[in-house]
Each structure stands twice: as C-alpha cells, then as structure tokens.
Amino acid sequence: MNIMLFHSTYGLRPAVHAAADRLRAAGHEVWTPDLFEGRTFDDVEEGMAFKDELGKDELLKRAILAAAPYSERGLVYAGFSLGAATAQTLALGDDKARGLLLLHGTSDIAESATVDELPVQLHVAEPDPFETDDWLSAWYLQMQRAGADVEVYRYAGAGHLYTDPDLDDYDAQAAEATWRTALGFLETL
C-alpha cells in the first residue's frame, strides 16, 4: 500500500519516522512530508501558534503538493492529530484514495463531500479534549452520510497523542493496540 503520513502540530518528530518505519516493515511504501519545513515543537501551544501563523490554506497547499506526485497510485492518507485532519481533507477530495487512517484527530466534513465506500479507521483517546464525544458522534454520522465505511476505536485513559513515546500523553498499551489494529486494517485495503 502507498501511504501518505502527515505529522501533528508538533512537526515531523521521531515518532512519525518510527511510525513510518513500522509501516514500511509491514511492506508498505510511506511518505512523511514535512509541512512545517523543519520546525518541530516540544509544546502543543507553540506548534498551534506556528500552524496558525502559517495558515490553514498554506498548510493544505503544502499537503496537496506533497501528495500530488503519488495520488495516481491510489494513496492511503494517514496522519496524527492535525495531520489526521489534513489526511481526511485530502482523502475526501481524492477519488483515487484507497483508505484513510486517522490517529488522534478528525476534521470538519463539507456537506457536499461524497466518497464511494472509502475505508476509514479512527483511533482516538477516551476522553479526548480535542475530539469530544458529541463531536465524534456527529463526525461519524457525517462520514457515513458521505459514503465512508467507518470504524472507530477509543482508548480509555490514554492521552491525546498517546502513540508518541516522547510525550506525556504516551500510553504503551494503547499505542500497541492501535498499531496492531491499524496494520490489520491496511492489510484489507
């Protein structure tokens, strides 16, 4: 499978490279574009401030330019938190998308969005301050209405970005369960 893996608000950190290596070891081709052009952050507030300074349109433009050379291959879009939101936006706009793997995040869905049974898998903490229960319920219904085939996995007690071992959110058990399930999902595409 060809996977475009987008980083979180923290930037292209070691955890993203480790995730890409894990996916490559399972036989996938993976690209990890650096949408922040080398900037990384140790603090979510700093990362959010940089993202806001960069602007949503510029971030999306960078993501589209990163994916464009590979989209004809039929990409699985994937990402962490902010990167998941970016991956979702690209996947819903790419009629050749093979799947969508969301780790720790979602995004708004345009009323006009339609896909043809796009396989979608979401992994998120429970509770998650950025992905509230009400938001996730509405998101799930909107994704189904758009035509996606959605699976949601919640991890009780885990922090928001629980797959990153360098952050306080890290939860080894939830991270391993996520990767086992995600790798199984990718095998079905």
**How many angstroms separate the first and last alpha carbons of the chain?**
8
Once rounded to an integer, what is the mean pLDDT over residues 68-73? 96
Return the bridge partners of 99, or none: 76
Identify the band that residue 45 occupies on the pLDDT scale cut at 50, 70 and 90. very high
Distance CA 188, CA 180 (A): 13
Once rounded to an integer, what is the mean pLDDT over residues 178-183? 98
Once rounded to an integer, what is the mean pLDDT over residues 154-163? 97
Q: Is the dihedral of CA 186, 24, 105, 112 positive or negative?
A: negative
Q: Per-residue pLDDT tens for 94-135?
A: 999 999 999 999 999 988 899 999 999 999 999 999 999 999
pTM of the predicted model, to two decimals? 0.97
58 CB-near residues (< 8 Å, 6+ apart): none
What's the pLDDT score for residue 117? Answer: 94
158 CB-near residues (< 8 Å, 6+ apart): 125, 126, 169, 171, 174
Once rounded to an integer, what is the mean pLDDT over residues 60-64? 97
8-state DSSP, 24? H
User: Tokens 């900037």 sit at which residue?
Assistant: 39
What's the pLDDT score for residue 153? Answer: 98
What's the pLDDT score for residue 53? Answer: 96
